[in-house]
Chain A
Amino acid sequence: MKYEVLGKNVKKVDVLAKVLGQAKYSDDIELQGMLYAKILRSPLPHAKILSVDIGKAQNLPGVSAIITAKDVPYNDFGGEAEDQVILAGDKVRYVGDPVVAVAAESEEIAENALQLIDVKYEELPAVFDFRDALKPGAPKLHENVAPVHEFGLNWSKSDNAPELQETSNLKTHRKIRVGDVENGFKNSDLVIQDNFWTQRMEHCHIEPHAAIAVMSADGKMTVTTCLSMPFVVQAQLAKVLGIPLAKVRIVQAESGGNFGGRNDMSVEPYAALLAKKTGRPVKIVWTREEEFVGSTTRHLMYVEYKTGVKKNGEIIAREVKVVSDAGAYTSYGPSSLAKGCICSSGPYRIPNFKVDGYLVFTNNPVGGAMRGFGAAQVLAAEETHMDHIAKELAMDPVQFRLKNALQNGDRSVTGQVLHSVGISETILKASEAMKWSEKLTGPEKKTGPVRRGIGIAAVLYPVTITEEANPAGAYVKIYPDGAATVQIGLVDTGQGAKTVMAQIAAETLGMPLGDITVVCGDTDTDPYDLGCVASRGTYTNGNAVKLAATAAKQRILEVAAEKLSVSADALETANGKVYVKEFPEKSIPISEAATISYHHGKPISEVATFNPPNTALDPETGQGNPFPTYAYATQVAEVEVDTRTGVVKVLKIAAAHDVGKAINAALVRSQISGGIGFGMGMALLEDMVLDQGRNLNPNFVDYLVPTSIDIPEIEPIIVEENEPTGPYGAKGIGEQSCVPTAPAIMNAIYNATGIRLNTLPATPDRLLKALKNAPTEAI
């Protein structure tokens, strides 16, 4: 299929302002009379609030207003359960829980005011490990959480499974049941078990959370901020303020990175409440320390795998247990757990499958959405487990995966018939690119202090939000001069949504790309969209744009048909012209058709919505169609491990990603390199270190994100397994790019050294310790 605009490497539309330093992020905006807000946070992980004395702070010159829990019309909020509070009233549940907010003439005065506020706490017993949180008699974080019954996890070979008849820190239990795993294990030649720990991580978008709120005289609250889901936060904020949704306007400033860190309402309510109280604009900007302490994190997870296989490598049965540490509040814990459970099969055919997933409260920072959303953690465990099985079978890890890889027509473990399954092609292409067969030497054969190894990880990644309706909308207007505006509700947080939508509109309308302007970022005027999350942007908004543009094009064809005295289906558009298919010289510019329509009193303006037909899973069997489709990816990593220092250098990663159709290949490739950077942090560097719930490394010196010298050579490979329900066949790329990286690197470390770590990140000290304790044959 030959496209005019799609698949081409067109420049991103918003980059000029950014390279000039003229793009306005929230903190770049200044309003007359603006105040600055700061938040006083709990220093304790679990405590009752006995009293809050703001007297001295209120008297500090320059302090304009101070708010506590009683000043919040509706104090409860949360992504999936309203168990989090804007300002803690009766108790705090994590170090960093907001208690008081201050607005003052300067940031310095606001900070000084915080020092003068006296909060008296009564410390409560706290839990920091989910194993403790699940024990009978454990300190209870929340009331009204339904108790759950025994579920026997095997924590390790030495610990006993806790007796868990009743616990009230268990928020969610998800299940999927297919076939009969016990029977499956009986019929297997080999049964392998593994467990795995993943770490708490922070998004670390370089722009901190920041917002400005202004209340107008007629009671309308406008908040300029950077969010991933403006319409969701609009509703949350309206509820907090106790005003109708139409009285809340969220304007998206230029966005300095997202990765899930902008999903939750965070700075907005404080700015809004203080703006309402003072009658002045209020700006709030988090410090980098607040980013680590106050923002949501990636959920720490513990995963157990048990897989039964035949000698020939066929997977017969798989049983998985996932425990997700929610931290102090629910946020997006349940659906990230659900996504993790659904993906815990890996991209493989599994006739007998059982997964149990558990979300547990602890007095730790709040777990929320982070790129990969539960699946990143579970698939890190799954793909290292697959490698372990391959080793026990004495089978090539690539061949083992190909043998079990899903194909078109297979069912997922939720019983959904799958199409556009590109997994095998990604496995083949990535392994070929790295010369897998040549390089595959077992660790037993490696000698010397510095060793090289290769590793593979193959994953599936769903497109759009789990189990839920998540609509998108689009308006397309064609002006009399032939240019068009496309308006969407999706926000561009740097990934290039505006560019991709412009390309889809241009291709559909038959117009030059330069004639299309994409606008978004204002809840007052945009069509409703669930948000820039779940790798759904291109798929949902692209479909909405294509539908609206198709309708607008049809209007053009009808007008031109009359003008050219042919029927509409004899016409086509290209390059800004409408022409007769059989006699292309017979044409009129689109602008002329648009002008004629205008003069007839029918300006060309079309609207469309799109919603994927996701269904909820059965709570007992986990069966249903939670997504419209999946994307697939394989990454192969080559590493060099210095066994004297434990330092791992990643030399090269070949990354083959099935995106359905690359609307903009350059953007897909840069998502792949960006995602690999992200995944490398998960594999080797990033770890939020807590001590009794206190963050010990809330800065970039001690929490290491990858820098330019950490990045390997990357070979991005685009695989296009056409998605019939996607716009021009497209699926998604945003998250799958970071998911295979950590397990590919872990598997390469094993291949280099014979050490199979089961904890992320693979830091030098962990590797050295394992090397020291390793059986002598591996050294």
Chain B
Amino acid sequence: MQIKFTLNGKEVEVNVKPNSTLLEVLRGILKLTGTKKGCARGECGACTVLLDGQPVCSCLVLSPSVDHREVVTIEGLGTQDNLHPLQEAFMEYGAVHCGFCTPGMLLSAKALLDEKPNPTEEEIKIAISGNLCRCTGYIPIVRAIQSCTTENKTIRGLDKK
């Protein structure tokens, strides 16, 4: 069936199988491989995209349900010449090791900051609690997100020599 939706700000029209997931459509049909497949069961968050601004596991979203809606993937967050502040912060704070959880993490973080520009550390941790990371121990990621709050909190510990 045909679905039409806004993807990273542009209208797209795709022919999809009714039982396909948004993750399958993004990676398999639209060839956007920035969104990752970690478990295909909604348990790891590597496939996180924004659906109407809300972070969702795209492996749990049936593609027909995004008809006439807005999807943002990692490819829509920023470009090399125009990085999103979160992308810059992740690079600066050592929040990217293997990088597999990174696209999902960035989008969960963006959704949080779009709704709450000044979250507490606890709110940040809760916002990314659905994104599993095995490499960093989360702390550099939390610090990176914190550095993007409007208050620009001072970061303790990890950047001191």
Q: Smallest Cβ distance from B104 to chain A, in angstroms?
A: 9
Nearest CB to that of A23 among chain B residues? B99
Q: How far is the CA of A209 from the CA of B62 in the complex (A)?
A: 25
Contact of A675 among B90, B98, B137, B161 (CB under 8 A): B137
Which residues of B are found within 8 Å of A16, using beta-carbon distances? 80, 91
Interface residues in B14-62 by Cβ distance below 8 A to A read: 31-41, 43-44, 46
Q: Smallest Cβ distance from A191 to chain B, in angstroms?
A: 39
Q: Map CB proximity to B onto A170-192 as digits: 1 under 8 Å, 0 otherwise.
A: 00000000000000000000000
Known interface pairs A206-B133, A207-B38, A208-B38; A288-B92 also in contact (CB < 8 Å): no
Query: Does residue B159 face the partner (Cβ distance < 8 Å to A)?
Result: yes
Contact of A670 among B74, B83, B140 (CB under 8 A): B140
Contact of A699 among B37, B43, B46, B131 (CB under 8 A): B43
Query: Does residue A225 face the partner (Cβ distance < 8 Å to B)?
Result: no
- Contact stretch, chosen from B63-71, B122-130, B147-155: B122-130
Query: Does residue B119 face the partner (Cβ distance < 8 Å to A)?
Result: no
Main secondary structure of the interface of A (DSSP, over half): loop
Nearest CB to that of B100 among chain A residues? A256
Q: How far is the CA of A105 from the CA of B75 in the complex (A)?
A: 28
Which residues of A are found within 8 Å of B2, using beta-carbon distances? none
Structural contact, A24 and B40, CB atoms closer than 8 A: no
Which residues of B are found within 8 Å of A716, using beta-carbon distances? 157-158
Structural contact, B158 and A669, CB atoms closer than 8 A: yes
Q: Smallest Cβ distance from B132 to chain A, in angstroms?
A: 6
Structural contact, A673 and B132, CB atoms closer than 8 A: no
Structural contact, A25 and B36, CB atoms closer than 8 A: yes
Which residues of A are found within 8 Å of B73, using beta-carbon distances? 21
Q: How far is the CA of A667 from the CA of B159 in the complex (A)?
A: 11
Q: How far is the CA of A700 from the CA of B133 in the complex (A)?
A: 12
- Contact stretch, chosen from A459-467, A491-499, A515-523: A491-499
Which residues of B are found within 8 Å of A709, using beta-carbon distances? 125-126, 129
Q: Map CB proximity to A onto B84-124 as digits: 1 under 8 Å, 0 otherwise.
A: 00010011101011111111001000000000000000001
Q: How far is the CA of A203 from the CA of B135 in the complex (A)?
A: 11
Nearest CB to that of A226 among chain B residues? B98
Q: How far is the CA of A631 from the CA of B17 in the complex (A)?
A: 55
Structural contact, B96 and A15, CB atoms closer than 8 A: yes
Query: Does residue B12 face the partner (Cβ distance < 8 Å to A)?
Result: no
Q: Map CB proximity to B onto A708-751 as digits: 1 under 8 Å, 0 otherwise.
A: 11010111100000000000000000000000000000000000
Q: How far is the CA of A589 from the CA of B73 in the complex (A)?
A: 45
Which residues of A are found within 8 Å of B36, using beta-carbon distances? 25, 206-207, 256
Query: Does residue A623 face the partner (Cβ distance < 8 Å to B)?
Result: no
Q: Map CB proximity to B onto A201-241 as digits: 1 under 8 Å, 0 otherwise.
A: 00111111000000000000000000000000000000000
Contact of B138 among A28, A496, A711 (CB under 8 A): A711
Residue of B37, B106, B135, B137 ringed by the most chain A CB atoms within 10 A? B137
Which residues of B are found within 8 Å of A27, using beta-carbon distances? 33, 37
Known interface pairs A19-B106, A287-B40; A676-B96 also in contact (CB < 8 Å): no
Residue of A203, A676, A677 ringed by the most chain B CB atoms within 10 A? A677
Query: Does residue A418 face the partner (Cβ distance < 8 Å to B)?
Result: no
Q: How far is the CA of A700 from the CA of B145 in the complex (A)?
A: 25
Which residues of B are found within 8 Å of A285, using beta-carbon distances? 37
Known interface pairs A21-B75, A670-B137; A714-B157 also in contact (CB < 8 Å): yes
Query: Does residue A142 face the partner (Cβ distance < 8 Å to B)?
Result: no
Known interface pairs A673-B136, A677-B136, A711-B139; A18-B99 also in contact (CB < 8 Å): yes
Query: Does residue A665 face the partner (Cβ distance < 8 Å to B)?
Result: yes
Known interface pairs A700-B132, A705-B132, A714-B139; A19-B97 also in contact (CB < 8 Å): no
Structural contact, B43 and A701, CB atoms closer than 8 A: yes
Interface residue range, chain A: 35 or more
- Residue count of chain B within 8 Å CB distance of chain A: 58
Q: How far is the CA of A709 from the CA of B127 in the complex (A)?
A: 10
Query: Does residue A325 face the partner (Cβ distance < 8 Å to B)?
Result: no
Which residues of B are found within 8 Å of A287, using beta-carbon distances? 40
Q: Smallest Cβ distance from A763 to chain B, in angstroms?
A: 19
Structural contact, A257 and B80, CB atoms closer than 8 A: no
Which residues of B are found within 8 Å of A7, using beta-carbon distances? 161
Structural contact, A21 and B74, CB atoms closer than 8 A: yes
Which residues of B are found within 8 Å of A674, using beta-carbon distances? 97, 134-137
Which residues of A are found within 8 Å of B83, using beta-carbon distances? 19-20
Q: How far is the CA of A669 from the CA of B74 in the complex (A)?
A: 27
Structural contact, A20 and B139, CB atoms closer than 8 A: no
Query: Does residue A678 face the partner (Cβ distance < 8 Å to B)?
Result: yes
Structural contact, A677 and B137, CB atoms closer than 8 A: yes
Query: Does residue A254 face the partner (Cβ distance < 8 Å to B)?
Result: yes
Nearest CB to that of B157 among chain A residues? A715
Which residues of B are found within 8 Å of A22, using beta-carbon distances? 34
Q: Map CB proximity to B onto A340-378 as digits: 1 under 8 Å, 0 otherwise.
A: 000000000000000000000000000000000000000
Residue of B101, B126, B133 ringed by the most chain A CB atoms within 10 A? B133
Which residues of B are found within 8 Å of A700, using beta-carbon distances? 39, 41, 43-44, 132
Interface residues in A192-206 by Cβ distance below 8 A to B read: 203-206
Which residues of A are found within 8 Å of B99, using beta-carbon distances? 14-15, 17-19, 23, 254, 256, 494
Query: Does residue A528 face the partner (Cβ distance < 8 Å to B)?
Result: no
Nearest CB to that of B103 among chain A residues? A21
Q: Smallest Cβ distance from A701 to chain B, in angstroms?
A: 6
Structural contact, B134 and A705, CB atoms closer than 8 A: yes
Nearest CB to that of A208 among chain B residues? B38
Nearest CB to that of A255 among chain B residues? B98
Which residues of B are found within 8 Å of A496, using beta-carbon distances? 97
Known interface pairs A493-B98, A715-B157; A11-B92 also in contact (CB < 8 Å): yes
CB pairs A–B below 8 angstroms (17 shown): A11-B92, A21-B75, A21-B102, A206-B44, A206-B98, A206-B101, A207-B38, A254-B98, A256-B36, A288-B38, A669-B94, A673-B137, A700-B43, A700-B132, A708-B129, A711-B139, A713-B157
Q: Which 9 A-B pairs have the closest CB atoms?
A: A21-B34, A494-B98, A18-B99, A677-B137, A21-B74, A673-B137, A256-B100, A700-B43, A28-B33
5 new A-B contacts, CB < 8 A, other than A14-B99, A21-B35, are A207-B98, A493-B98, A673-B138, A674-B134, A677-B134
